[in-house]
């Protein structure tokens, strides 16, 4: 399963949002990846998420595979749409 989201907080995915994404992803058994411009990174790794350099307005594909993939996608989509509680 996958979903496309848009990063809407002003600072994009920096350290704090990356930590929130990794923390949320690690709550689920599903393998979760974030994909930007064909680059796929493990969403459970803060360091890998930071390599995306995803600024405001960037479209990200979130892909999850596993028993709780739908719940993982719901949680991550809600997190991104919340602007990581920043703006």
d(Cα 69, Cα 32) in Å, to the nearest integer?
A: 8
Point out the catalytic residue in the list 8, 11, 12, 14.
14
Task: Decide if 83 is catalytic.
Answer: no
CB 75 within 8 A of CB 24: yes
Secondary structure of residue 18 in the 3-state scheme: helix
List the structure tokens of 33.
């990846």
Residues with a known catalytic role: 14
């Amino acid at each position: 399963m996958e979903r496309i989201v848009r990063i809407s907080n002003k600072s994009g995915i920096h350290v704090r949002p990356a930590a929130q994404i990794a923390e949320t992803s690690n709550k689920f058994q599903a393998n979760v990846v974030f994909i930007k411009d064909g680059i796929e990174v493990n969403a459970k790794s803060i360091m890998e998420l930071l390599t995306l350099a995803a600024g405001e307005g960037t479209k990200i594909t979130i892909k999850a595979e596993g028993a709780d993939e739908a719940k993982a996608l719901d949680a991550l989509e809600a997190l991104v749409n919340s602007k990581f509680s920043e703006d």
